[in-house]
Amino acid sequence: MNTIAKGLLLVVAGVAALVVVLLAGPLSSTAAESIDDLGGGIQGVPPEYEPWIRRAAAACEHPELTPALLAAQIQQESGFDAQAGSHAGAQGPAQFIPGTWATWGRDADGNGRNDPHDIGDAVTAQGRLMCSLIGQAKTSGLRDDPRRLALAGYNAGWYAVQRFGGVPPVTFADGETYHYVRIVMASMKKFEARPGGALSVRGSGSGPDALRRGGHYIGTPYSYGGGTPDGPGTGFCDQVNGYANGRCVASSTVGFDCSSLVQYGYWPSVQLPRTAAAQYSATSDRPVTRGQLKPGDLVFWSNHTGIYHVGFYAGDGRVLHAPRTGRVVTVEPLDTAMPAADYHGATRP
């Protein structure tokens, strides 16, 4: 949020109307969405930013808000400098001015402060504001990429987007907004990483919506016992699981295990239990044959100990899942994701 927005958001008479419009804009949508190449993979960002960027993107149901877009925007705003400031009074990695922070800022990291310099607070607020702007752009009737329109609104204020019927031209404010949008859009590619390939999700309903929600976390580390309905978290070791090279890594790894990823994807519309075995028990009265699998169906594997693994059917004979310690959330062929002989069956929550 650079100098234009920093100054004008405080003095333009239409600020109150802008804030009302943004707050009224949904952070989620029940309308059918089409997502091509949905990928939560991200690379090239400081490790202290990565989980917050993933969480901010996943909290927005507009698929245009990807981790790479948020990362590219932070790079342009502050170069990932949490202590960044400007002559116009903007603060922190997402460069919020006090008036805008008062609307969007929250104590997201739970440290007792609501601080634009705190990475978690700043990135979460950035995500909420960008999500709202993307929603505004998609319903505006303006014929441009909603990401470009949202970025312009973040930089110059939505009133400027309305004034020019799109991204302000290079003649506006010495080209600041024009070049801001161009640079962020161009630099997204370097932050994109798609382990396991891309995931395409089309349509709506509990299955596609759950798959879409889980897909935002492609590339997130596996953490045994980690993850909750609120997102990734650290796990634990149990004498058998959670170790790498003889060391407990789950307790220091922020991520998901197989069943917490599934639980997260379906929550809160379908409140599945925590473990793979319990999820199978809760849904086994709705079995699905291999030939009838649909995106979002749950696929299970078992051995002599019982059900030990679960994932989302991702379409095209693939599964979205969190495989094991040392791996990341990924998309891979159903037949090779786990031992083929262990495939147990599928259910539809």
Q: Where are the domains of the chain?
A: 3-191, 199-347
Give the three-state DSSP class for 2: coil
Fold: same for 3-191 and 199-347: no
* Residues of the chain above pLDDT 90, percent: 68
The stretch 252-268 carries a mean pLDDT of: 94
The number of angstroms, rounded, from the C-alpha of 38 to the middle of its chain's C-alpha atoms is: 10
The CATH number assigned to the domain with range 199-347 reads: 3.90.1720.10
Does 39 have pLDDT greater than 70? no
Q: What is the pLDDT of residue 194?
A: 55
Q: Check: CATH 1.10.530.10 for 3-191?
A: yes
Residue bearing the bigger pLDDT, 23 or 138: 138
Would you place residue 164 in the very low, low, confident or very high pLDDT band (cuts 50, 70, 90)? very high
Q: What is the pLDDT of residue 190?
A: 87
**51 and 218 in contact (C-beta within 8 Å)?**
no
How far, in Å, CA of 191 to CA of 131, rounded? 19
> Each residue of 187-206: pLDDT tens digit?
988 888 655 556 788 888 99
Q: What is the pLDDT of residue 166?
A: 95
The set of residues, in sequence order, having a beta carbon less than 8 Å from that of 68 and lying 6+ positions away, is 42, 188, 189, 191, 192
Does 17 have pLDDT greater than 60? no
Tell me the three-class secondary structure of 14-40, residue by residue: CHHHHHHHHHHCCCCCCCCEEEEEECC
Closest CA to 331 of 217, 203, 208: 217
Give the three-state DSSP class for 42: strand
Closest CA to 201 of 48, 301, 331, 82: 331
Q: What is the pLDDT of residue 88?
A: 85
Report for 1-5, 8-12, 297-301, 325-329: range of highest mean pLDDT? 297-301
Q: What is the pLDDT of residue 100?
A: 95
> Each residue of 221-245: pLDDT tens digit?
899 999 999 989 899 999 999 998 8
Closest CA to 126 of 56, 183, 46, 189: 56
Q: What is the pLDDT of residue 321?
A: 97
The mean pLDDT of the chain is 86
Q: What is the pLDDT of residue 221?
A: 87
